[in-house]
């Protein structure tokens, strides 16, 4: 009975909330890795914009964080600091998701232990959020690049249309 009340304490609820935030931000980071990988392939012309894009997107969503980290590091030019941060977050995320409470259960029974765990989870959340924002920026750069390419393609098409056809629809002789 005493153990049940301990887990329902406000401090325990706070610990579990920060655990949830840590997992949430690691998932947000995973999503940004998927977005970045798919957009990279699209901007490099390695996939067509329609059906292949959807298939690739869902395939990448099914990849583990480790697979995404390895693939992005082979295909994207991160700074050394970003690569170290990405690897650290990946390892910490795996620890948090798979082993955190198994290895730290005794600490959940003391206010000091819970406070230390909360501090660690806040630090992880902040790191994951910081990297997710950087990836979001890189993703936006690729989106802007695609929009510029689409505008350029449309301008070329418009010029070809104007140069190649007269107002009445007959092809101009060149």
Task: Please give the chain's pLDDT, 174 residues, in tens.
Answer: 455 566 668 999 999 999 999 999 999 999 999 999 999 988 888 787 666 888 888 999 999 999 999 999 998 899 999 999 999 999 999 999 999 999 999 999 999 999 999 999 999 999 999 999 999 999 999 989 888 766 655 555 556 556 554 444 555 544
DSSP characters over 120-165 = HHHHHHHHHHHHHHHHHHHHHHHHHHHHHHHHHHHHHHHHHHHHHB
Q: Model's pTM, two decimal places?
A: 0.77
């Amino acid at each position: 009975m005493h153990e049940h009340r301990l887990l329902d304490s406000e401090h325990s609820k706070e610990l579990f909330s920060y655990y949830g935030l840590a997992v949430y931000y690691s998932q947000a980071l995973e999503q940004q890795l998927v977005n970045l990988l798919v957009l990279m392939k699209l901007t490099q012309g390695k996939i067509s914009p329609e059906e292949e894009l959807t298939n690739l997107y869902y395939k990448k969503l099914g990849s583990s964080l480790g697979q995404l980290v390895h693939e992005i590091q082979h295909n994207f030019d991160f700074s050394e600091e970003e690569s170290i941060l990405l690897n650290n977050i990946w390892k910490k995320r795996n620890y948090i998701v798979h082993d955190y409470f198994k290895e730290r259960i005794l600490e959940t029974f003391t206010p000091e232990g819970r406070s230390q765990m909360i501090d660690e989870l806040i630090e992880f959340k902040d790191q994951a959020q910081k990297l997710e924002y950087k990836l979001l920026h890189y993703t936006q750069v690729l989106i802007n690049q695609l929009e510029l390419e689409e505008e350029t393609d449309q301008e070329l098409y418009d010029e070809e249309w104007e140069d190649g056809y007269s107002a009445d629809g007959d092809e101009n002789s060149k």
